[in-house]
Amino acid sequence: MATITYLTRIEFGEGETAKLPDYCAGLGLRRPLLVTDAGLTALGLTARIAGLFEAAPPVYDGTPANPTEAAVMAALAVYRQEGCDGILAVGGGSSLDLGKAVRILAAHEPPLARYAAVEGGVARIKGPLPPMVAVPTTAGTGSEVGRGAVIIMQDGRKLGVLSPLLLPSIAVCDPELTFGLPPMLTAATGMDALAHCLETFMSPAVNPPADAIALEGLARGLGAIRRAVADGRDRQARWDMMMAAMEGAMAFQKGLGAVHALSHPLGALKGLTLHHGTLNAVLLPAVLRFNRAAIGGKWDRLAVLLGGDPDSVIARLNADLGLPAGLSGMGVGAAALPAVAAAALKDHCHATNPRLASEAEYLALLQEAF
């Protein structure tokens, strides 16, 4: 077990879940809303978590695969009806992001879109916000140590809501919670973590500590992802993947890039439920090639760490893990690509890519990854 204070407080280690009542009590949380999803409820994890408390917390388990403003409002209604005083979010990045959004609207007036970064919403988020304990059950998004939430708004846009105030009060990272993840979800969430490390390192912002963490997370994740996919109960591989995911999110305070600028609007396409990590994996090789001329010596550093040209290594890793070879294999139609390219220009990750893309270049990247 280790207690880490970096951006926020992190309790990391197998078995840490059992201490959730103590962590909540330490924050003065008497009646948290347990935010999760129906899948974890069906697996019995929601009941297991609730059963740790003397008085079982109220539950909202309607989190969609890609969280929506409508789901945030539904969870907020439960929060208010039950007289909750904070959030206990348990699940993948969707549940953690939804919990963060509920925190905002518990202390601010809706609509949620007015707090989105691209709408100038960072300055509108004021403290104090209700306390939040974040418990990831996947090793990918790193939302447990992230300062943002990505939500599909009522108007259909998938937008980032960002503020240092959104950092969870405590992140409880228990690798045991990932033992039951199926191989494809392990692969997809793991590639999300690697995408965070790669995009952060390529971002032109000056932040050497973030670069160092990104490279460490990348190396750790590369060394563990195949083993975690092959054997979901490989304890060291699961530990390393959860740490790599957390490090990726610690580092991306620096900013992400074109992969995420494209995956956010792709994730908002109506009629499809596209996994964010899988999208990032599929987009990565094309974006790496696009950025090569702009990142100079960073390309060479990545090539040494990865053992070959980064784009080729990532494409081969995707294939080895059984992930789709392109967007078409995920059900994306060619007709949707122009609108996605236009939306990418307005995404908050666009500005921190090392090579600013035009709408035409975004469209070319989508076609290359198709």
CA-to-CA dists, residue 68 to 100, 151, 166, angstroms? 12, 5, 17
Q: Residues 165, 244: one domain?
A: no
pLDDT band at residue 7 using 50, 70 and 90 as cut-offs: confident
Q: Residues 90, 129: one domain?
A: yes
Q: Are 77 and 97 in contact (CB under 8 A)?
A: no
Q: Residues 152, 237: one domain?
A: no
pLDDT for 208-262, tens place per residue?
999 999 999 999 999 999 999 999 999 999 999 999 999 999 998 899 999 999 9
Q: Residues 94, 173: one domain?
A: yes
pLDDT for 102-126, tens place per residue?
999 999 999 999 999 999 999 999 9
What pLDDT does 4 receive?
A: 53
pLDDT for 26-61, tens place per residue?
999 999 999 999 999 999 999 999 999 999 999 999
Q: Residues 52, 120: one domain?
A: yes
Domain limit, last residue, from 177, 192, 217:
177
Q: How many other CB atoms are found less than 10 A from the CB of residue 50?
A: 19
Q: Residues 172, 186: one domain?
A: no
> Residue 214's domain is classified under what CATH number?
1.20.1090.10
Say if residue 1's pLDDT is above 70.
no
If one counts the domains in the chain, the total is 2
Q: At what angle do helices 235-251 and 208-230 cross, to 10 degrees?
A: 150
Q: How far apart are CA 118 and CA 151, in angstroms?
A: 13
pTM: 0.94
Domain limit, last residue, from 134, 157, 177:
177
Kindly state the average pLDDT of the residues 287-313. Answer: 97
Q: Residues 143, 189: one domain?
A: no
Q: Residues 111, 209: one domain?
A: no
Q: Considering the chain, what is the average pLDDT of its residues?
A: 96
> Residue 143's domain is classified under what CATH number?
3.40.50.1970
Q: Residues 144, 248: one domain?
A: no
Q: Residues 207, 314: one domain?
A: yes
Domain limit, last residue, from 129, 147, 177:
177
Domain extent, residue 151, equals: 2-177
